[in-house]
Each structure stands twice: as C-alpha cells, then as structure tokens.
Amino acid sequence: MAKKSMIARDIKRTQISQKFAKKRTALKLVLNNRQSTPEQIDVALLALQKLPRDANPIRQQRRCRITGRPHAVYRKFGLGRNKLREAVMRGDVPGVVKASW
C-alpha cells in the first residue's frame, strides 16, 4: 500500500491540472501557431512559466486503483501487477487467462 500522503499529492496534482487545463492549452496554441508574432510568443511563454508546475499533466503518476502503487501499473486495467494477477486468478478480468505451456 502506498503512503496516503503520496496518493493525496497525486490527487492534488490532478485537480490542479484540470483547473489550469484550458489556460494551458490556449497558451500552447499561441506558442505553436506559426502566425504568432515574437512578442506574442514571449508573453505566452512567460504566462506559461508562471503557471504552477503541477498544472502540467505530465507530472501526474499513474497509480493502481486498489493499492496506490506507482510502478508496474497496467494502463488497460488501471491495476498494479500484483492486484492484476490476483484478479485474473479469481476470474474477475474477462478474456485474460494465465499463460501455461
């Protein structure tokens, strides 16, 4: 089980990222637009740098939904490798079987 503080920190990052998502995309559009003047780009770049670091969605960590484990998490299932294995053994995940040869 992951520390509660780390899980709470990740939830906070998600909330901050959602809060600044529209503003961030608008600034990124100005930066990526070929018709933007250098002055507009400078203003947009400064505004983007003044946003909180956690406003960037890259800083969010993918975690297991059950345990909060940050490593070895399968995107398709949203579970860590340990809990995914347990769910497969119980038969909770349709279409997935343990390999045997």
Over the range 58-75, which residues count as b (16 or more CB within 10 Å of their CB) and which as e?
Answer: eeeeebbeeebbeeebee
Q: What is the mean pLDDT of each run of 10 residues along the chain (101 residues)?
A: 87 95 96 93 95 92 91 93 93 85 82
Domains and CATH numbers, the chain: 1-61 (1.10.287.1480), 62-101 (4.10.830.10)
How far apart are the C-alpha atoms of 16 and 90, rounded to whole Å?
37
Max Cα–Cα distance, the chain, nearest Å: 64
- The answer to whether the beta carbons of residues 41 and 30 sit under 8 Å apart is yes
pLDDT of residue 97: 80
pTM of the model: 0.75
How far apart are the C-alpha atoms of 99 and 32, rounded to whole Å?
47
